[in-house]
Structure 1
Amino acid sequence: MTQKTAVHPAGHAAAPAKFSHGVRKGNILQVAGQVGFLPVEPGQEPVLAGPTLREQTRQTLANVKAVLEAGGASLEDVVMLRVYLTDTAHFAEMNEVYDEFLADLKEAPAARTTVYVGLPDGLLVEIDALAVLD
């Protein structure tokens, strides 16, 4: 049986509860919901990339990418992304940033679902991912 391994990239703040930023088992890597916190040094409190959706979406996608890379994957390996937004009015702007960030993909883009949710104060977007490695 393949062992399940936690993935915690450098620069990510400790999770606020008992969960991993990512979990790899065999050729599957699940990235937990990431938000727009900037990289931190150990022991520092997380700080948002900024108050705007654009800033937070860019940093959130960078954080997803960091977890993927720490787990031995890349954006090319992602088969599913889930985007959680706090406001339906943010959909078009988030898509602009999303498309810019993923513009260099060579293979088919991941499937995606967008859901509207409540997030902790100040957070506008959260994204998780599922990757399958060759």
Structure 2
Amino acid sequence: MSDIVRTDAAPAPVGAYPHARRVGQLLFLSGVGPREPGTHVIPGNVHDADGRLLSYDIEAQCRQVFANVRAVLEASGARWQDLVDITVFLTDMTRDFASYNRIYAECFAGVDACRTTVGITALPTPIAIELKCVAALLPQA
């Protein structure tokens, strides 16, 4: 048995996939980025007149992506504390890891999820961070 989760509380997926899928007692979140829900705005991105990315604010992106993960969890009937595994993708590990790690520790205090952080060269939109999460849920009634 599985349940598909879609919500307007988080940004729309950039492809043909749901926000999350529940299979038994596990909830698998699709990759979640830092776009603002209902828009294509990426907090902290600065573009030139031709639309080229000039700079970004990893702290603003971290806070937004964490809020988006929370929104998908809540839409799924899950809680922040239900997270058991988090994979984080950063496009610039050298520049951004320390800031991301500090904000992660602040936002995930009390959450004992396993975590893997991977440095990659690009993501499908001009974002610097994306999360892939798994939560363990109580059985459905």
Smaller-chain TM-score range? Answer: 0.7 to 0.9
Deviation at 1:81, TM superposition (A): 0.3
In structure 2, stretches of 5+ residues that fail to align are 46-56
- Letter of the aligned partner of 2:112 in structure 1? P
Look up the SS of the partner of 1:36 in the other structure. Answer: coil
Pair 1:112 & 2:125 matched: no
TM-score by length of structure 2 reads: 0.82
Instruction: Give 1:56's aligned amino acid.
Output: Q
Once superposed, which parts of structure 1, at least 4 consecutive aligned residues long, lie more than 6 Å away?
A: none
Aligned to 1:50: 44
Superposition deviation, residue 30 in structure 1: 0.5
Which structure is larger by alpha-carbon Rg, 1 or 2?
A: 2
The CA RMSD over aligned residues, in Å, is 1.4
Q: TM-score, normalised by structure 1?
A: 0.86
**Percent same amino acid at aligned positions?**
36
Secondary structure at the residue paired with 1:33?
Answer: coil
Q: Which residue of 2 aligns with 1:100?
A: 106
1:28-47 matches, cutoff 5 A: 28-40=26-38, 45-47=39-41
Give 1:102 shift: 1.4
Structure 1 counterpart of 2:72, one-letter code: V
Distance 2:40 2:4 in 1: 20
Partner of 1:72: 77
CA distance in structure 1 between the partners assigned to 2:136 and 2:43 by the alignment: 29
Deviation at 1:101, TM superposition (A): 1.0
Alignment check: 8 A CA contact 2:91 2:129 kept: yes
Give the deviation of 1:74 after TM superposition. Answer: 1.0
Q: 1:10, CA displacement in angstroms? A: 2.1
Q: Structure 1 residue 25: deviation in Å?
A: 1.8
